[in-house]
């Protein structure tokens, strides 16, 4: 999109080498630098980022190096009024959180995207109350106060026009204006609620139903509004009225991602659970009108809380609970309408609800609208055609039925929004006797997107109208300024956009008229409409036909060229209600809904006159312009510093675009067409008096001094008013260039003189320092000579002093040595005497202690010996008991062996007897019986041999076990004997040591009586010793008894062994006899 720039051309006289200038930059719009070289009409500039750029002098703008570091509050005070100067001033102030700046009578408000509570509130309202504009820093309260004071004092109607693109802060600025007017306008109660309260609380209601999230703004107003606040004669608010313009109806049915539909739909889905169940609602994702975009929630917005806040606001503005319920029932019905899908019916080009889900939503929508479900289906799917002969019902195909459904939803929502506005106006009430009012216009700013439709066309048409009004008012203000200063002025030309307005609204050949004409023909399409535009405006300089499209068209607006897509122009321009929809909703059982669609007058219904949104909007706009023309306007231009909606980000290119679209740069251009630079007389004289020193006398008149300065500089076209000097474009730069030259020459002279002064001062200082150094050096030489003489003279004195000190020290040492010997002998005598006395005192106690220790050691030895003996006896007793048990077991086993031996002897006797018997039988010749007897005997012999071997094994094991036990007992006895011997040796050593200690003790000179009271303990110890001796004797007896029994058992065991050997011999003999018997038997 091409946007014209405001070019205030520089002149070669203004720019010299070393000048600080501004040049265009594609990234940051304007960048500053310094001229390093000039070659003809081109200049080489070194920018602040280090780049070298060559630009034409006509495209270079001078930079004011003397501008205040915090910027100026009114940009008409800038020495150089051009685009880069304006942009830099706004940027500097924005970085200091100064978001408000004047440009003449225009207030520029830059959205900070953060809370600034210190510049709002009641204290700031009180501060700006009744204070003329300009005395305090720029503020929205200052504009509101100016409008209020002019209305009260002059009795004229005033208006405040707030404009800007989406997200620039128009709605918040309007709220601030309303708060200040309510603050200064007093309190007039209406049914228990003040008018200003109702006006302020109308904002949440209108925002809920008229605002939505867009790409650029989370709370974008999708309608324009003009609020008339009426005042009585005393300046108190007595009434108010709200007029709205061009609600975006298409958003109800069509939402682009990531935008949202109107807030009220999401608020209702977040209502309390009973409300959701009553209206059969759910998650926004389940509704077609809401799920076209993936955005359902806003980061800083709680829909549930906003729903309750909206209901409270409705209470304040006077909407009853019954009407509130009906309003949200209508909103819910629209959501259910969107979920009714259509499919082909049985007949040709007919449609029916697609499935059970569609039928369910159809039923719920009918219940909420309180109409018949079948009638609602017929109204959506059929059309009635009335002919003179008959009434014909025509079915709609699914696509047409969907269009009909969306049309019904848009119509219902539009009528609901209009009803809300009317209800708010009726609730607030208007004062018919009021003759003064202040109007606040919150209107959408100029819009230019990639895709621009009918809404953008109407919005930009509105901005063209407002821009024309703005230009005319600004030109009038310029003339008033010149008249006030009593200067001669000629007609100032400014760009008039009347040709654009004629292109849009002229009858009968304007775009709106051609659009209405196309809408009246049933067969018209957007292609035919576009072709009609191409033919009609092919030679119009403001109308452009794009090369790559057959249906788009471009209009060159004051803020730039905008290309519109005509695809939906015809559908969006139609402003009539389908008769079937009208009849359906009139028949609703809900009075609220039927009142939204009052029956049309008979003559209107019969008339074929066509009504369109474009024509109606043009009429509303004309009425608005008439209202604004009857008021004194005040302008507030809201600016969005960045598209990220974040604080502390200042996008130069984006802001320059908004300043052009908002007419701020056009206002500067108009100012430049006259006298853009205006400087108070005293400031001018103070700044440029050095150009004409002869005019600066002690009693000079400022106006005459200004005249002389300007005449001397040879400037023409300037004007000198009563309090200001008015200069043409570029003249301030020329004066600054001349001033810079004079200052440069003066600076050179001053620098030369200062350098001379500095060199002279340096020379004198150097001379003074040289003399000082020389004097110090001479003093140093004299000091060295003196030191040498001093060392030579002092050497003799030092030697004499050394000898004298040695003599005195030797003498003092001898005296000290003699005294020390005497003292040492006396001290040694005293010490020996003390030691002797101490030895005498302590000798008796040492002897007693030695005896007592000897007695204690003897007792300890006795106890130790007796304890050892007792322990040994008890241990031997335990060992003897164990040995006795083992011997008893061995004895038992030996008895078993004896029994076995007896049995074997009996068996041998039996075998002997049988052998004899067998001999007898053999003699008798009974061979068979002998053989049988032989077998039995052999078996018996084998059994006896096995038992004999078993007895031998048992005897061997028993002998080994006895030997091991005897060895253990002998070892333990030897170990105990060794320990007793060691104990006796230790006791003997202790006795010898005690005797030596007693013999070593010296005799006691003076005995000290020592009392010993341990008789009871000694008796106890003696008794214990006696008992231990008794137990020791018993243990010895038991040990002897065990030893005797052991010997007896040993003897018995040896006897049994002998018997066992005899038995073995007999068994061998028996075996030999059996062998012989067997051999004989064989023979």
Is there a catalytic annotation at residue 171?
A: yes
For residues 580 and 372, what is the distance between their CA atoms, to the nearest angstrom? 13
Any residues with CB less than 8 A from the CB of 177 and at least 6 apart, and which? 140, 143, 144, 160, 162, 440
- For residue 914, CA distances in Å to 80, 743, 933, 1073, 1077 come to 162, 168, 8, 12, 12
Q: Are 573 and 515 in contact (CB under 8 A)?
A: yes
CB–CB of 427/320 below 8 Å? Answer: no
- Binding residue ranges for ATP: 164-171
Concatenated DSSP letters of 461-517? HHHHHHHHHHHHHHHHHHHHHHHHTT----PPP----HHHHHHHH-TTTSHHHHHHH
Give dist(CA 134, CA 130) in Å, integer: 12
In the chain, count H helices and then E strands: 28, 26
Maximum alpha-carbon separation in the chain: 196
How far is Cα 1047 from Cα 1050, in angstroms, rounded to an integer?
Answer: 5
Smallest CA-to-CA distance from 916 within 901, 936, 935, 930 is with 930
Catalytic residue, chosen from 445, 663, 689, 721, is 445
Residue 445 near residue 163 (C-beta atoms within 8 A): yes
The packing angle between helices 321-338 and 398-428, to 10°, is: 160
- Identify any residues that bridge with 395 across adjacent strands, giving them in sequence order: 382
Strand partners, 229: 240, 438
Token pair of 667, please?
Answer: 């206002």
Q: Which of 85, 167, 185, 210 is catalytic?
A: 167
Cα radius of gyration rounded to whole Å, the chain: 65
Per the annotation, the verdict on 167 as an active-site residue is yes
Q: Whose structure tokens read 């039996």? A: 910
Name the 3-class secondary structure at 627.
helix
Distance, first Cα to last Cα, the chain: 150
Question: Catalytic residue at 427?
Answer: no
Which member of 19, 202, 217, 677 is catalytic? 217
Classified as helix, coil or strand, 17 is: coil
Catalytic residue among 101, 159, 211, 220: 220
Give the active site residue among 89, 163, 171, 244: 171
**Is 607 among the residues known to form the active site?**
no
Distance in angstroms (rounded) separating the CA atoms of residues 288 and 282: 12
Q: Is 509 a catalytic residue?
A: no
Measure the CA–CA gap between 229 and 65, rounded to whole angstroms.
46
Three-state secondary structure call for residue 551:
coil
Is the C-alpha dihedral spanning 617, 619, 622, 624 positive or negative?
A: negative
Alpha-carbon distance 612 to 571, whole Å? 10
Given 196, 207, 228, 447, the catalytic residue? 447
**Segment 899-908 long-range contacts (CB within 8 Å, at least 24 positions apart):** 900/947, 900/951, 901/951, 901/1059, 901/1060, 901/1063, 904/944, 904/947, 904/948, 904/1063, 904/1067, 905/1063, 905/1066, 907/940, 907/944, 908/944, 908/1066, 908/1067, 908/1070
Confirm whether 1057 is a catalytic residue. no
Q: Which of 165, 214, 977 is nearest to 640 (CA)?
A: 165
Please name the residues in contact with 904: beta carbons below 8 A apart, sequence gap of 6 or more.
Answer: 944, 947, 948, 1063, 1067
| Annotation says 434 is catalytic | no
Is position 483 annotated as part of the catalytic site? Answer: no
CA angle centred on 183, ends 226 and 439, rounded to 5°? 20
Phi, psi of 675 (to 5 degrees): -125, 90
The helix/strand/coil state of 353 is strand
Using DSSP's 3-state secondary structure scheme, residue 1013 falls into coil
Phi-psi bin for 104: left (phi > 0), alpha (psi -120 to 50), beta? left
Cα–Cα dist 1040/1034, whole Å: 10
- Catalytic (active-site) positions: 166-167, 171, 217, 220-221, 445, 447
């Amino acid at each position: 999109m091409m946007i014209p720039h405001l070019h205030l051309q520089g002149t070669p006289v203004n720019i010299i080498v070393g000048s600080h200038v501004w040049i265009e930059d594609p990234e940051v719009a304007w960048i500053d630098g310094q001229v390093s070289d000039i070659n003809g009409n081109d200049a080489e500039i070194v920018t602040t980022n280090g780049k070298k750029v060559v630009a034409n002098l006509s495209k270079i703008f001078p930079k004011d190096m003397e501008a205040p570091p915090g910027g100026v509050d009114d940009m008409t005070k800038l020495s150089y009024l051009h685009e880069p100067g304006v942009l830099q001033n706004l940027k500097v102030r924005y970085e200091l959180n100064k978001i408000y700046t004047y440009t003449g009578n225009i207030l520029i408000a830059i959205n900070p995207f953060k809370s600034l509570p210190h510049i709002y509130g009641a204290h700031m309202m009180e501060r700006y109350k009744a204070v003329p504009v300009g005395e305090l820093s720029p503020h929205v309260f200052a504009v509101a106060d100016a409008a209020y004071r002019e209305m009260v004092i002059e009795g004229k109607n005033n208006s405040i026009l707030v404009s800007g693109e989406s997200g620039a802060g128009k709605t918040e600025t309007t709220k601030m204006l309303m708060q200040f007017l309510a603050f200064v306008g007093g309190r007039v109660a209406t049914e228990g609620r003040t008018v200003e309260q109702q006006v302020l609380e109308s904002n949440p209601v209108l925002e809920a139903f008229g605002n939505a999230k867009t790409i650029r703004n989370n709370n974008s107003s999708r309608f324009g509004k003009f609020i008339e606040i009426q005042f009585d004669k005393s300046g108190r608010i007595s009434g108010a009225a709200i007029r709205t313009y061009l609600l975006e109806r298409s958003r109800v049915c069509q939402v682009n991602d990531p935008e949202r539909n109107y807030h009220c739909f999401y608020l209702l889905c977040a209502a309390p659970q009973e409300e959701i169940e009553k209206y059969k609602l759910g998650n926004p994702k389940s509704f077609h009108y809401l799920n076209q975009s993936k955005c359902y929630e806003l980061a800083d917005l709680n829909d549930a809380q906003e729903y309750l806040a909206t209901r409270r606001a409705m209470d304040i503005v006077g909407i009853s609970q019954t009407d509130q319920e009906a309003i949200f029932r209508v909103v819910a019905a629209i959501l259910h309408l969107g979920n009714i899908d259509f499919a082909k019916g049985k007949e040709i080009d007919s449609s029916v609800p697609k499935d059970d889900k569609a039928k369910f939503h159809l039923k719920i929508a009918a219940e909420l609208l309180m109409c018949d479900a079948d009638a609602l289906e017929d109204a959506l799917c059929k059309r009635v055609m009335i002919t003179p002969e008959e009434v014909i019902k025509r079915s709609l195909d699914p696509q047409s039925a969907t269009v009909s459904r969306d049309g019904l939803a848009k119509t219902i929502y539009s009528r609901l929004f209009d009803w809300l506005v009317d209800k708010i106006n009726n609730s607030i009430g208007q004062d018919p006797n009021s003759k003064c009012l202040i109007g606040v216009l919150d209107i959408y700013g100029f819009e230019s997107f990639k895709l621009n439709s009918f809404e953008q066309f109407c919005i930009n048409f509105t901005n063209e109208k407002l821009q024309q009004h703005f230009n005319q008012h600004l030109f009038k203000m310029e003339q008033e300024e010149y008249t006030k200063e009593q200067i001669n002025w000629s007609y100032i030309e400014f760009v008039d956009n009347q040709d654009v307005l004629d292109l849009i609204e002229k009858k009968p050949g304007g775009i709106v008229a051609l659009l209405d004409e196309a809408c009246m023909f049933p067969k018209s399409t957007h292609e035919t409409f576009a072709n009609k535009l191409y033919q009609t405006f092919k030679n119009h300089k403001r109308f452009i036909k794009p090369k790559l499209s057959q249906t788009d068209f471009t209009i060159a607006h004051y803020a730039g060229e905008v290309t519109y897509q005509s695809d939906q122009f015809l559908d969006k321009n139609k402003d009539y209600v389908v008769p079937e929809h009208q009849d359906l909703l009139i028949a609703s059982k809900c009075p609220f809904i039927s009142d939204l669609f009052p029956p049309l007058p008979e003559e209107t219904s019969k008339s074929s006159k066509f009504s369109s949104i474009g024509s109606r909007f043009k009429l509303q706009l004309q009425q608005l312009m008439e209202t604004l023309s009857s008021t004194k306007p005040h302008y507030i231009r809201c600016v969005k510093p960045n598209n990220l909606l974040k604080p502390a980000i200042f996008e130069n290119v984006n802001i320059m675009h908004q300043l052009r679209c908002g007419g701020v740069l056009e206002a500067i251009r108009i100012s430049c067409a006259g006298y853009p630079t205006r400087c108070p007389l005293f400031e001018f004289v103070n700044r440029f008096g050095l150009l004409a020193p002869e005019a600066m006398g002690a009693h000079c008149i400022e106006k005459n001094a200004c005249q002389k300065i300007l005449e001397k500089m040879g400037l023409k076209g300037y004007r000198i008013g009563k309090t200001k000097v008015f200069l043409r474009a570029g003249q301030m730069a020329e004066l600054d260039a001349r001033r810079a030259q004079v200052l440069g020459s003066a600076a050179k002279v001053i620098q030369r003189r200062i350098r001379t002064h500095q060199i002279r001062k340096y020379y004198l200082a150097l001379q003074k320092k040289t003399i000082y150094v020389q004097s110090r050096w001479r003093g140093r030489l004299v000091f060295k000579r003196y030191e040498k003489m001093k060392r030579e003279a002092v050497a003799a004195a030092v030697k004499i002093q050394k000898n004298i000190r040695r003599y005195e020290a030797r003498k003092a040492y001898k005296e000290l040595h003699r005294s020390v010997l005497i003292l040492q002998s006396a001290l040694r005598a005293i010490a020996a005497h003390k030691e002797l006395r101490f030895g005498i005192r302590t000798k008796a106690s040492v002897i007693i202690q030695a005896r007592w220790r000897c007695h204690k050691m003897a007792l300890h030895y006795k106890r130790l010996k007796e304890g050892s003996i007792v322990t040994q006896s008890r241990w031997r007793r335990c060992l003897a008991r164990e040995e006795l048990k083992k011997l008893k077991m061995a004895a038992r086993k030996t008895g078993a062996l004896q029994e076995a031996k007896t049995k074997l002897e009996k068996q041998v006797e039996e075998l002997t007897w049988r052998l004899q018997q067998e001999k007898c039988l053999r003699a008798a010749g009974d061979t068979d019986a002998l053989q049988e007897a032989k077998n039995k005997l052999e078996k018996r012999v084998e059994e006896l041999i096995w038992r004999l071997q078993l007895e031998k094994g048992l005897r061997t094991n028993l002998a080994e076990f006895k030997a091991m036990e005897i060895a253990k007992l002998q070892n333990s006895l030897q170990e105990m004997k060794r320990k007793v011997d060691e104990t006796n040796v230790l006791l003997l050593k202790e006795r010898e040591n005690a005797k030596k200690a007693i013999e070593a003790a010296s005799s006691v000179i003076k005995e000290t009586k020592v009392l010993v009271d341990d008789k009871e303990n000694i008796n106890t110890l003696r008794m214990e010793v006696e008992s231990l001796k008794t137990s020791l004797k018993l243990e010895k007896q038991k040990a002897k008894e065990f030893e005797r029994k052991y010997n007896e058992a040993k003897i018995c065991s040896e006897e049994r062994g002998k018997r066992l050997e005899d038995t073995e011999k007999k068994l061998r003999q028996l075996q030999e006899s059996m062998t012989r018997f067997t051999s004989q038997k064989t023979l």
